[in-house]
Amino acid sequence: MDVLETRIDTRSAEYQANRAAMLALVADLRAELERAHTDRSPKAQARHKEQGKLTVEERLEALLDPDAPFLEVAPLAAKDMYDGRVHGAGSLAGIGRVSGREVLVLANDARIKGGTIYPLGVKKTLRCQAIALENRLPMLNLVDSGGAFLPLQSELFPDLDDGGRVFYNQAQLSKLGVPQITCVMGLCTAGAAYMPAMSDHAIHVAGTGAIFLGGPPLVRAATGEEVTAEELGGARLHCAESGVSDYYAEDDAHALAIARDLVALLPPVERARIPTRPPAPPLYPADEIYGLVPRALSTPYDVRELLARLLDGSQFHEFKRDYGPTLVCGWGYLHGMQVGLLGNNGVLFSESSLKAAQFIQLCDRDGVPLVFLQNINGYIIGREYERGGITKDGHKMVNAVATAGVPKLTVIVGASFGAGNYGMCGRAYSPRFLWMWPNARIGVMGPDQAASVLVSVKNEQQAREGLPPMTPEEVAAIQEPIQEAARREGSAYHSTANLWDDGILDPARTRDVLALGLSAALNAPLRSAPWGYGVFRM
């Protein structure tokens, strides 16, 4: 393979200005993550401790293998939503190792609103189940939840992707042989009672764990019966009488030890095989990424500079270098695992779209996972390009992305606009994982373009009605709110709050995070359906 040689002057004023701007974004990201992990009310902290419970962080520490990496999923979900205090959508989730086995863990944080489930909490649970299903990862649920947040029940109960889908997914996971282990460490009430019941193993903590379809207040209101939570759904009842729970745990630590034992007893998994070789670090430091990314998304840079800081030995075998140059395609290794990479060097033309479709087919046939590095304003537009068939050529690329059976991983490293988001494997195209950098922007189009389009439409409407064009004041009245909304809703934080991605990354961690995601993906077969594609419009 060729070695990528950098052309970046790390001593230049431009590099240093870029670096300072990115470091400021990374500092903001670290502050937001710290707040999401630690901002809990003293009252909630004290109540949790009085009940003899471990914190969610202590539970994970006891469950996971020492010194093993943990890839957190959606740590900033629900950021600045609801009252701004439903951090992580009320839970902590991620991929780690338990008894040497990669697993997905989803743990309620009862210090946040008593662990009650908000609409985005349901969405995060569904996302975690999708990760477990796609990657065939055993799923461990650490339940400590007061149930649905009733004031928002219409947003989390009745629809296809609301609360009931959690239990539907549990049935699908069970059918496909994906192990599920639930530790009942607090309240597990109403529909959530089905979570342990539908798991392969249910571990029940005495004194704090309680499973019931209706809690004591509801029982009192419906039947007049006076009953305590322990009498209604405690560990002794469900382990010795109802049979709902399988293992009686004295406390949190005991429950987590049982969970570790159960994971150790799982049959070994046959990991998907992809080409590998001994890993090697890149030739260039990861933190040089901070300075190579321009401060303005409209300023281009060579994605090969990024690849030189991601790939083993900075080695890259490029495919069709001189054809469709606005898309860079080729093969490299990440921590010893071979991947096919696609990175943007401009808008997508017919040639770059056709190159992408061919490259994706080659990787899919050969069982090589795909990594997409998105920095894309979209497909080229205009009469000349429509006559040349950009729509059908873009379709070939989108079709190939949608139907490829190998694992796909996406990082939005800059812009992600319009159909370019689709062609470069945005969320709708089911990458196993998708992350963003803090500088990234996402939307149908950029703020200025969106405002200009609306002004043009309004002026055309005025002309049809025989009216003069809008005045500068009228133009500003339309443009400014559209630009502000697009800037706000196109930010990486808005995306991650709504779970459009799996988290915002420190750019210097990108190589390691991609490798962790890829390792998790190899727990599943490369393909769940016969290899092939739909109809390509020629």
Q: pLDDT digit string (tens) for 492-525?
A: 999 999 999 999 999 999 999 999 999 999 999 9
CB-CB contact of 53 with 110 (8 Å):
yes
Residue 190 banded pLDDT, cuts 50, 70, 90:
confident
Burial class (CB within 10 angstroms; exposed 0-12, middle 13-18, buried 19+) of 525: exposed
Answer yes or no: is pLDDT of 244 > 90.
Answer: yes
Mean pLDDT across the stretch 110-118?
Answer: 94
**What pLDDT, on a 0 to 100 scale, did the predictor assign at position 475?**
87
Residue 529 banded pLDDT, cuts 50, 70, 90:
low
**What pLDDT, on a 0 to 100 scale, did the predictor assign at position 451?**
79
H/E stretch holding 139? strand 139-145
Answer yes or no: is pLDDT of 274 > 80.
Answer: yes
Total-model pTM:
0.95
**62-65 long-range contacts, Cβ below 8 Å, gap at least 24?**
62/252, 62/253, 62/256, 62/257, 63/96, 63/98, 63/105, 63/140, 63/142, 63/256, 63/259, 63/260, 64/96, 64/97, 64/98, 64/105, 65/96, 65/97, 65/98, 65/99, 65/100
Burial class (CB within 10 angstroms; exposed 0-12, middle 13-18, buried 19+) of 234: buried
Residue 445 banded pLDDT, cuts 50, 70, 90:
confident
Q: Between these two residues, 447 and 342, which has the higher pLDDT value? A: 342
**249-286 burial string, b = 16+ CB within 10 Å, else e?**
beebebbbebbbebbeeeeeeeebebeeeeeeebbbeb
Structure tokens at 157: 């109960």
Answer yes or no: is pLDDT of 446 > 90.
Answer: no
**What pLDDT, on a 0 to 100 scale, did the predictor assign at position 485?**
84
Answer yes or no: is pLDDT of 3 > 90.
Answer: yes
Answer yes or no: is pLDDT of 382 > 70.
Answer: yes
**What pLDDT, on a 0 to 100 scale, did the predictor assign at position 214?**
87
CB-CB contact of 420 with 444 (8 Å):
no
Residue 533 banded pLDDT, cuts 50, 70, 90:
confident
Mean pLDDT across the stretch 447-476?
Answer: 87
- Tokens 């009245």 identify what position? 477
Phi, then psi, of 302 in degrees rounded to 5: -80, 120
Rounded CA-CA distance 135/138 in Å is: 9
Mean pLDDT across the stretch 237-251?
Answer: 97
**What pLDDT, on a 0 to 100 scale, did the predictor assign at position 478?**
86
Torsion over CA: 270, 275, 279, 283 (sign)? negative
Residue type, 170: Q
Answer yes or no: is pLDDT of 528 > 90.
Answer: no
42-51, 143-152, 349-358: least confident range: 143-152
Rounded CA-CA distance 173/141 in Å is: 13
Instruction: Give the model confidence (pLDDT) of 57-97 as tens digits.
Output: 999 999 999 999 999 999 999 999 999 999 999 999 999 99
Residue 537 banded pLDDT, cuts 50, 70, 90:
confident
Rounded CA-CA distance 342/323 in Å is: 14
Mean pLDDT across the stretch 220-232?
Answer: 92
**What pLDDT, on a 0 to 100 scale, did the predictor assign at position 503?**
98
Mean pLDDT across the stretch 395-418?
Answer: 96
Question: How big is the chain by its Cα radius of gyration, in Å?
Answer: 25
Instruction: Give the model confidence (pLDDT) of 309-319 as tens digits.
Output: 999 999 999 99
Q: What is the DSSP letter of 165?
A: H
**What is the chain's mean pLDDT, rounded?**
95
Mean pLDDT across the stretch 282-304?
Answer: 96
A 10 A CB-CB count for 61 gives 13
**What pLDDT, on a 0 to 100 scale, did the predictor assign at position 480?**
87
Find the helix packing angle between 472-489 and 447-464, rounded to 10°: 140
Answer yes or no: is pLDDT of 204 > 80.
Answer: yes
Mean pLDDT across the stretch 389-405?
Answer: 95
To the nearest whole percent, how much of the chain has pLDDT over 70? 99
Residue type, 54: L
Rounded CA-CA distance 413/309 in Å is: 14
Q: Where are the alpha helices (DSSP H) in 308-389?
A: 350-366, 383-387
